[in-house]
Homo-oligomer: A and B are copies of this chain.
Amino acid sequence: MNNTFGTHVALTLFGESHGPEIGCVIDGLRPGLRVDEDYIAHRLALRRPGGPGSSARVEKDPFRIVSGVWQGRTTGTPLCILIPNTEARIGDYVNLKNTPRPGHADWTGHVKYQGFNDPRGGGHFSGRLTAALVAAGAIFLAALRERGVRIGTHLARCAGIPDRPFGDLETDLDALERASFPVLDEARGEAMKAAVLAAAAEGDSVGGVLETAVLGLPAGLGAPWFDTVEGLLSHALFSIPAVKGVEFGDGFALAELRGSQANDPFRMENGRVVTESNHNGGINGGLTNGMPLIFRTAVKPTPSIAAPQRTLNLATGEETELRISGRHDPCIAPRARAVQDAVTAFVVLDLLETP
């Protein structure tokens, strides 16, 4: 039960929000994969704040790869990425140790680590660490691309406003790779941004739903028990801060259907077994069936809000009012999309590499 995940391709995450550096070690990569630092920078930019009302804290993410790459290619030995925490402002967070933020890990982390954890900015629990996941994810996404596998995530709902559903997946994934605000319908995206700003103006925040498609997977990946594709993906996806639900294919809506509606009939298409519909999201019996892998995550509203909140003063045991200073994203779902792509790429690459 620790900060390493993965069967064959394994990732170890380390660092604290206000420590000198965060980073990760990736093990089990094939030797010879090209490592494109510009693409890593591009993916980090997709995670960076900058959407409507987003945190004014400019996070530049200069990163260094200190091992596992030689002459521009992976060596096959552990690859360590380091990202310095250059612009953190410590003063913003001084009052968190005794007055835990509702909806955050301040209190649970204090209990687990017996008060020794670094409380500044959430410490090791901080969303800041997802920068290392995104940097690693760029390497995974590029490795998958070489094998014909593509991944993209859109903001399917935000502040109650739906994006249009996925259509032609190749086209939609092309658009998402470039989009700074990850929607398929720009007009709906503008409506979402307005709703986010409206919440922010009230000192509040909103949530959303992120939907991901993975194209190009062969059939037969995964395992019947425990290491089902759903199980492995969800295990990793719940590490994305604020994710509180994961559903595959039609997910919870499947519970309302009849079997005759939910089953995806098999047929042959160009010599390949396909299913006519994809209610099961590309997975049967825990294994990929060769159809697009489709899933959604529920992202709760940012717990750090400007409006005053009630909490406890742990030192005195009294209730108190908490005002969170600093600037916080009123909706993290748009940025979380880069993390969801990264985490998905990690699990999918691991599935492909594990015999």
Interface residues of A (CB under 8 A from B): 1-5, 7-8, 10, 12-16, 19-23, 25, 27-28, 31-32, 64, 66-68, 70, 73-80, 82, 100-109, 111-118, 122-125, 129, 157, 160, 199, 203-209, 219-228, 230-232, 234-239, 241, 243-268, 273, 275-276, 280-281, 284-289, 298-305, 307, 309-312, 314, 317-319, 351, 353-355
Contact = CB atoms under 8 A, between A and B. Distances in A.
Interface centre among A7, A68, A225, A289 (most CB of B within 10 A): A225
A261 B113 CA distance: 28
Copies in the complex: 4
Contact of A355 (B257, B263, B267, B353): B353
Contact of A268 (B70, B219, B262, B317): B317
Given A102-B263, A103-B259, A305-B263, A80 B31 contact: no
A287 to B, nearest CB: 4
A208 to B, nearest CB: 6
A118 B255 contact: no
A25 B22 contact: no
B235 A129 contact: no
A245 B244 contact: no
Given A3-B225, A107-B284, A312 B266 contact: yes
6 contacts: A21-B66, A76-B113, A105-B224, A226-B235, A260-B309, A261-B301
B31 A116 contact: yes
Contacts of A123: 70, 75, 77
Given A31-B114, A227-B1, A14 B244 contact: no
B228 A67 contact: no
A70 B301 contact: no
Nearest to A119: B70
Contacts of A103: 259, 262-264, 280, 284
A260 B255 CA distance: 30
A261 B28 CA distance: 35
A122 B284 CA distance: 12
Contact of A204 (B13, B70, B260): B260
Contacts of A355: 8, 353-355
Contacts of A107: 219, 266, 273, 284, 289
B266 A117 contact: no
Contacts of A258: 199, 204-206, 301
